[in-house]
Copies of this chain bind each other. A is one copy, B any other.
Amino acid sequence: MNLRERNKEATRVAIGDAALRLAIEQGPSGLALVRVHDIATTAGVSPRTYNNYFSSREEAICSFQADRSRQVGQALRDRPADEPFGQAVIAAVIALYTEPEPDRAGLRMIMMTPELAGEALKAFTMAEDPLAEAIAARTGMDAARDLFPAVTAAAVAGAIRVAGRRWLEAGSGVSFADTLRAALGCVVAAP
């Protein structure tokens, strides 16, 4: 990875972190007060540069979730090939989403704030395509022809999203891993 590409990625996460942090500070009600100028200044770049990376504040705030979603496909590929399908999916998702345990404030901000819900939905849905590819590879299907990989990927992504919401609504007594296991068990065969 080039120095250029590393800087670019660092800038991206810096802007995303700044955006999320400012959003959390203001809270859901004061989200409109988080201005592009503030995000850029906090991240140490110019407003114009911020706009080279994200085309809306919502996108920047939810970028950490989008980045994680993009890794789900690889997480499934990392599971041993002889593991049963449902078990592999559940283990992959739990490994990706519970190390470390998600930040409650950040997740609550993007999932429970109406103005951010749409972008959060997009962020979770970004997991579908790479996940469908990984599912097709594991089951020996064709991602372009068979419906199963894409539909299962969408179901899994939806289950993750529902699990996130329930985990936020519930108190801190229950672990995210358990919630994920229960939700995913509804859409893939749990052994």
A122 within 8 A of B: yes
A125 within 8 A of B: yes
Q: Which A residues are closer than 8 A to B by beta carbons?
A: 118-119, 121-122, 125, 128, 147-148, 150-152, 154-155, 157-159, 161-163, 165-166, 179, 182-183, 186-187
Contact (Cβ within 8 A) B122 A155 = no
For this complex, 5 residue pairs linking A to B, each with C-beta atoms less than 8 Å apart, are A147-B166, A150-B162, A151-B162, A152-B187, A155-B186
Q: Quick one: copies of this chain in the complex?
A: 2
Q: Which secondary structure dominates chain A's binding surface?
A: helix
Give A155 Cβ to nearest chain B Cβ, in Å. Answer: 4
Contacts of A163 in B (CB 8 A): 147, 151
Contact (Cβ within 8 A) A187 B155 = yes
Contacts of A128 in B (CB 8 A): 158
